[in-house]
Chains A and B, each alone.
Chain A
Amino acid sequence: MSKFKKKSESSQDIPTAALPDIIFMLLFFFMVTTVLRETEIKVEQKIPRAEQLVKLEKKKLVTYLYIGKPKDSSLGDEPLIQANDAFIGIDGIVQWVNQEKDKLSEVERDQITVSMKVDQETKMGIIVDVQTELREANARKIMYAAPTKTSDN
Chain B
Amino acid sequence: MARSKGRGSQEVNAGSMADIAFLLLIFFLVTTQIATNKGLTLLLPPKQEDDKPIEIKQQQRNIFKIQVNSADRLLVEEEPMDDVSQIRGMVYDFVLNFGAPSDVKRGAAKVSDKETYNSLPASMKAYINRNLGTKESSDGPSEAIVSVKADRGSSYEIFIQILDELNAAYNRIYGERVGLTDEEYRKLNKNDPRDKALYDKARSGIPKAISIAEPTKVGG
Binding site for B on A (CB under 8 A): 20-21, 24-25, 28, 31-32, 48, 50-57, 59, 62, 113, 115, 118-125, 127-128, 131-132, 134-136, 138, 140-148
Contact = CB atoms under 8 A, between A and B. Distances in A.
A68 B177 CA distance: 39
B33 A59 contact: yes
A31 to B, nearest CB: 6
A25 B37 contact: no
- Listed from nearest, the 6 A-B pairs whose CB atoms lie closest are A125-B152, A52-B167, A145-B39, A50-B164, A56-B37, A28-B26
A53 B167 CA distance: 9
Contact of B154 (A25, A123, A143): A123
A85 B104 CA distance: 50
Contact of A128 (B41, B161, B182, B212): B212
Contacts of A52: 40, 164, 167-168, 171, 182, 186
Interface residues of B, number: 45
B15 to A, nearest CB: 9
Interface stretch (B45-53, B74-82, B94-102): B45-53
Given A24-B22, A54-B39, 15 more contacts: A25-B22, A28-B29, A31-B26, A50-B39, A50-B40, A55-B35, A113-B41, A123-B153, A124-B153, A125-B215, A131-B212, A134-B44, A135-B46, A144-B39, A144-B42
A69 B68 CA distance: 22
A115 B41 CA distance: 9
B38 A118 contact: no
Nearest to A21: B18
A53 B38 contact: yes
B35 to A, nearest CB: 6
Contacts, number: 140
Contacts of B215: 124-125, 128
B208 to A, nearest CB: 11
9 contacts: A53-B38, A54-B40, A56-B41, A120-B156, A122-B155, A123-B154, A131-B212, A138-B47, A142-B41
Nearest to B29: A32
A123 B155 CA distance: 5
Interface of B: 18-19, 22-23, 26, 29-30, 33, 35, 37-48, 68, 150-157, 159-161, 163-164, 167-168, 171, 182, 186, 190-191, 212, 214-215
A121 B44 contact: no
B95 to A, nearest CB: 15
B145 to A, nearest CB: 17
Contacts of A135: 44-48
Given A21-B19, A54-B39, A115-B37, A146 B190 contact: no
B47 A136 contact: yes
Given A20-B19, A123-B153, A123-B154, A131 B159 contact: no
A113 B40 CA distance: 12
B40 A124 contact: no
A20 B15 CA distance: 12
Nearest to A58: B37
Contacts of B68: 124
Nearest to A34: B30
B42 A128 contact: no
A124 B45 contact: no
A50 B37 contact: no
A23 to B, nearest CB: 11
